[in-house]
Amino acid sequence: MRKLCILSIGIMIVSLSQAQPVAYSEARQVAQLFFAKHQKAITQCAHIEIANHHDTLFYVFNADQAYVLIAADKSSVPVLAFSNNTTFQANNIIPPVQMWMDNYANQILLIKQTQACTTHPDWSAWLHPRKDFDNDIDKVAPLLTSKWGQGMYYNYYCPQDEAGTNGRCVTGCVATAMAQLMYYFRFPDTGTASYSYTHDTYGNLSADFGQTHYDYDAMTDVPEEINPAMSLLIHHCGVAVDMVYGPTSSGMYNHKAAYALRTYFKYSPQTAYVFRDSSDLDWDSLIVTHLNNNIPLYYAGWSVPDINGHGFVCDGYQKTDSAYYYHFNFGWDGYMDGYFYTDALSPGGNNFNLAQEIIINAYPDTSTYTYPSLNLTGSRTLTALNGSFDDGSGATKQYPNNMDYTWRIQPDHDSIVFIKLNLDFQIAENDSLFIDSEDDNLMNYVITNDSGNLSLTVLSSYIELHLKTNHENTEKGFKVNYASSVPTYCGVLQMLSTPSGKVEDGSGTHRYNNFTNCKTRLKINGVNLIFIDFTKFETEKDKDILYIYDQSVSPSVLLVALSGDIHDTSFVFHTNTLMFVFQTDEQNTYDGWEFSYTSGINAINDKDKQLVDVKIYPNPANQQFTIEHPDLIIQQVQLYDIKGKLQQKYTINNHIYTFDISQLSQGMYFLKIETSQGIITRKLQLLRP
């Protein structure tokens, strides 16, 4: 059952002598007809009044996954905005949609106060429709398939700020809009030149466009986790326009997006701004021509006189009632994307409170630079955990005849659980798309002379797609989005308290994951020494780091930060509480680490008299020292420096042993003495004359 809900939004007005109010019943009739035309069945639910001393300016009707805004004055165009895939949530309106709502409200308020009692001609068609009323709708469906945002999945390379999402600044709507345009064209592969600027808060911010590979195959339409490839592209867009970054809002104030696309990202030399209030060009014709040629546009609105603006992508349109409604991808993870009327609401009126601008001719400069070529035959392998690709024909063309090409999704990870595949396809008659994997449910799957969407979860470490076309018909082809699932090796805080044991990163015989943040707390009562012996340690040096903190004090003290290849390394820490924090970055994984640990107490606290009887002389020592016990066999001695790092290790198996320490530096050392009856710990002072 699809439900229709209605919400009235009102503001106080002073004089309504000229108003031609639209009754609720009339607005509902328009909404019903509108949804019927868009194949949305509705049933009525409550009519929500904001307050009875406010005058309603427009109505919002919701159907299941759809809404429509209807003007509440007949001097205005009837339909203001609509969406076919989302409902309108009045308590959660994003800023760019609020900008359009304010624009509509201001115009209708002005109409009610100043307009003569003339009815907009479109009301008659809606309230007294003919049977053939506007059945044919001129349109271009939304060109973008991406639904990107500005927060934690996208801001990995933005300046760090503890007040921001995921500890970083948001990307900014302009950067996200520019990046979505480039992802649509999957161009450029690399940029050109470099640029830097100084931010008042975050210092020098820079991007080397010419030395950067933009990996579109590792980007997805709708990410489910942090995506480094997308984050890098978006951040470079931000740097290119001198983004004024902030933890909750980032903006551009220089109209530099067109210049950046031309100069740094290899887009057409004709890429340029057009401002609606100062151009003689036909606004609708300009936009529609681009969209009819499969070229989306950067679009922005700026409130006047506050100069508070929002940038987004215009990627489709519908022409109804002789009016154009443009589809906007707002860069808010797809939330509230929809179609909006952008002209004056009444004949002879204006929308001077909202300045509007577009960037035209923003398409790849193929005269100067090479657009990625389409290979008719061959194969390639995609190794990213998450990614996307198409048949190679690009955003604006159909695949060619005589193709025989294979794409293999084989993520570079040693423990893939499954792969989620989303496939949009249009395959011509006598052409075939073959899909294969290790999963018995998806072996030798064939699509031919068909179009649609296929979503699968494949229990396999790879998926293979093979497109084979003949010499006759062609079609748009296909686009794939995929996401791999890998095990979560560590999640919740691990708590340990046993006096000895083993600890590891959780990955076992597999490589650890990117974006790991693993914590283990070791608290052992009744001891003041903890010995750590690493049996395995291999991480990306200076990138994937194991931090060890002393948590017996407040605040915690960082004892050591470890990375790289440091097998067979040992430490002793003078505490009973350690916190191990393992953090990894966005790329390159290794075998990880594991260690065994034991614990003990200083000799003055030993209760076992037999263990206390060990003798160490001379102490302080110079070139050598001796350890002796009258009764116990001394099995092994480990000598640690003041930082807790193992310097020497001796196997003895005797009552007495003399050690050569002539190569050691002067300072304090700690001895871990393993005997047949237990472990003894002592201090050794090394003094040079």
- Examine the domain organization and report whether 390 and 432 are in the same domain: yes
- Examine the domain organization and report whether 110 and 21 are in the same domain: yes
- Examine the domain organization and report whether 639 and 593 are in the same domain: no
- Domains identified in the chain, total number: 4
* Winning range, highest mean pLDDT, from 191-205, 367-381, 464-478, 591-605: 191-205
- Examine the domain organization and report whether 474 and 619 are in the same domain: no
Main-chain phi, psi angles of 178, to 5 degrees:
-60, -45
Query: Residue 329: what pLDDT?
Result: 98
- Name the pLDDT band for 609 (thresholds 50, 70, 90): low
- Examine the domain organization and report whether 17 and 130 are in the same domain: yes
Query: Residue 48: what pLDDT?
Result: 40
- Examine the domain organization and report whether 12 and 139 are in the same domain: yes
In this structure, what CATH number is given to the domain that contains residue 424? 2.60.120.290
CA 508 from chain centre, in angstroms, equals 28
The edge-to-edge listing of strands for the beta sheet with 646-654 is 646-654, 634-641, 667-675, 678-686
Pairing of strands 44-48, 4-11: parallel
- Examine the domain organization and report whether 29 and 75 are in the same domain: yes
pLDDT at 4 over 70: no
Domain-embedded: residue 101 = yes
The CA–CA distances, whole Å, from 316 to 293, 324, 364 equal 11, 10, 19
- Name the pLDDT band for 42 (thresholds 50, 70, 90): low
Domain boundary among 571, 600, 629: 600
Domain-embedded: residue 218 = no
Q: What is the 3-state secondary structure (H, E, C) of 301-369?
A: EEECCCCCEEEEEEEEEEEECCEEEEEEECCCCCCCCEEEECCCCCCCCCCCCEEEEEEECCCECCCCC
- Examine the domain organization and report whether 77 and 26 are in the same domain: yes
Query: pLDDT for 303-359, tens place per residue?
Result: 766 667 899 999 999 997 778 999 999 999 999 999 999 998 877 666 556 889 999
Evaluate whether 42 touches 5 at the Cβ level (below 8 Å): no
- Name the pLDDT band for 221 (thresholds 50, 70, 90): very high
Alpha helices in 42-168 (DSSP H): 95-114, 122-127
* Winning range, highest mean pLDDT, from 12-26, 42-56, 597-611: 12-26
- Greater confidence, 380 or 608? 380
Nearest to 323 by CA among 120, 132, 131: 120
Evaluate whether 535 touches 595 at the Cβ level (below 8 Å): yes
- Examine the domain organization and report whether 562 and 444 are in the same domain: no
- Name the pLDDT band for 119 (thresholds 50, 70, 90): confident
Mean pLDDT confidence for 192-203: 98
Nearest to 480 by CA among 229, 218, 177, 149: 218
Query: Residue 484: what pLDDT?
Result: 96
Query: pLDDT for 225-254, tens place per residue?
Result: 999 999 999 999 999 999 999 999 999 988
Query: Quick one: which H or E segment has residue 260?
Result: helix 257-264
- Name the pLDDT band for 275 (thresholds 50, 70, 90): very high
- Examine the domain organization and report whether 547 and 615 are in the same domain: no
- Examine the domain organization and report whether 65 and 87 are in the same domain: yes
* Residue 394, SS3 per DSSP: coil
Domain-embedded: residue 221 = no
Nearest to 327 by CA among 142, 168, 530: 142
Round to whole Å and give the CA distance between 664 and 643: 14
- How high is the mean pLDDT of the chain? 89
Query: Residue 205: what pLDDT?
Result: 98
**Beta bridge partner(s), residue 359:** 273, 298
Query: Quick one: which H or E segment has residue 668?
Result: strand 667-675
| Residue 540 structure tokens | 């990306």
- Name the pLDDT band for 208 (thresholds 50, 70, 90): very high
Alpha-carbon dihedral sign for residues 156, 158, 159, 161: negative
pLDDT at 686 over 60: yes
Query: Residue 574: what pLDDT?
Result: 87
Query: Residue 46: what pLDDT?
Result: 34
Query: Residue 135: what pLDDT?
Result: 59
End-to-end CA distance of the chain, in Å? 92
pLDDT at 47 over 50: no
Beta-carbon contacts of 463 under 8 Å, excluding residues fewer than 6 positions away, are 408, 409, 419, 421, 435, 436, 437, 442, 482
SS3 percent helix, strand, coil of the chain, rounded to 5, is 15, 40, 45
pLDDT at 147 over 90: yes
Domain-embedded: residue 629 = yes
Domain boundary among 409, 444, 478: 478
Mean pLDDT confidence for 518-527: 95
- Greater confidence, 469 or 303? 469
Domain-embedded: residue 160 = no
Query: Residue 39: what pLDDT?
Result: 72
Percent of the chain with pLDDT over 90: 63
Query: pLDDT for 505-515, tens place per residue?
Result: 999 999 999 99
- Tokens 């035959």, located at residue: 377
Query: Residue 323: what pLDDT?
Result: 87
Mean pLDDT confidence for 203-221: 98
Query: Residue 1: what pLDDT?
Result: 35
Mean pLDDT confidence for 638-650: 88
> How many other C-beta atoms lie within 10 A of the C-beta of residue 329?
27
Domain boundary among 445, 478, 511: 478
Round to whole Å and give the CA distance between 600 and 572: 10
Beta-carbon contacts of 604 under 8 Å, excluding residues fewer than 6 positions away, are none
Q: Give ∠ CA 345-349-354 in degrees, rounded to 5.
A: 70
Q: What is the largest CA-CA distance in the chain?
A: 113
| Residue 104 structure tokens | 């509509």
pLDDT at 264 over 70: yes
pTM for the whole thing?
Answer: 0.85
Domain-embedded: residue 345 = yes
* Winning range, highest mean pLDDT, from 12-21, 317-326, 534-543, 563-572: 534-543
- Examine the domain organization and report whether 282 and 139 are in the same domain: yes
**Beta bridge partner(s), residue 2:** none
Domain-embedded: residue 38 = yes
Evaluate whether 137 touches 319 at the Cβ level (below 8 Å): yes
Q: Which residues in 601-631 are b (16+ Cβ under 10 Å) and which e?
A: bebeebeeeebeebebeeeebeeebebebee
Round to whole Å and give the CA distance between 274 and 468: 43
Domain-embedded: residue 225 = no
Beta-carbon contacts of 297 under 8 Å, excluding residues fewer than 6 positions away, are 287, 290, 291, 313, 314, 315, 358, 359, 360, 362
| Residue 37 structure tokens | 């035309």
Domain holding 462, by residue range, is 382-478
Question: Would you give the DSSP letter of residue 512?
Answer: P
| Residue 466 structure tokens | 């093979």
Query: Residue 65: what pLDDT?
Result: 83
